[in-house]
A and B are shown apart, each in its own frame.
Chain A
């Protein structure tokens, strides 16, 4: 039981390049979330999903897209990376019924030059 995994762990992009971050969970959770963490700002929600095939915008969605084609996977895409997207990205998941208690992945450190 791996919990929540994220791929890759580190990435360096040049401005304008694109990439996709993969999040996978093996707990059969309905809800999944993407956050970014920046110094002094805590975690800010980018996008989230309340079930397979659904996505919704969070607090800071601009410049990102997401997809949830399979229940266990939640993908975060950057179509044209900008230096302002340099951050640590965390994925999390939670179960319905219990709610709220989110389980986090180890994070992806992204640098955009």
Chain B
């Protein structure tokens, strides 16, 4: 089975500063990779996905992620965070039957 590791449990960032969330995966072939965001008390919303092609993918809300096969990583970035970006972020990898395997999540706190 595939696995996803998000090394950072909690990150605090100042409003306007840049943000990078780390994600590492284990998978034999080219993976299908995703980042989801969960605001407090809400369900998960897809931020972006990588299936193939350009290794730098753009998502909603100004987020982007870069797929690096050599490092088995799919890190999420945002150049300038807003207070509304405070949430929990999940990295996921696709498996057979269109299942997803999720990382444990990273909680982002934005300070004024």
Contacts and interface: CB of A to CB of B under 8 A. Distances in A.
Interface of A: 4, 31, 33, 40-45, 48, 50, 56, 58, 90, 92, 94, 96, 99-107
A90 B44 contact: yes
Contact of B42 (A33, A99, A106): A106
B49 A101 contact: yes
Nearest to B100: A102
A58 B36 CA distance: 20
Given A40-B9, A90-B44, A106-B43, A100 B97 contact: no
Contacts of B100: 43, 45, 100, 102
Contacts of B99: 33, 45, 48, 58
Contacts of A31: 97-98
A41 B5 CA distance: 11
A59 to B, nearest CB: 8
A41 B98 contact: no
B43 A104 contact: yes
B1 to A, nearest CB: 8
Nearest to A96: B98
B38 to A, nearest CB: 9
A24 to B, nearest CB: 14
A45 B97 CA distance: 12
Interface in B37-81: 41-46, 49, 51
Given A31-B97, A90-B44, A100 B34 contact: yes
B25 interface: no
Given A31-B98, A106-B42, A100 B32 contact: yes
Interface string B77-112: 000000000000010001001111111110000000
Contacts of A43: 44, 90, 100, 102
Contact of A42 (B46, B51, B103): B103
A110 B95 CA distance: 28
Contacts of A102: 44, 46, 98, 100
Contacts of B4: 42
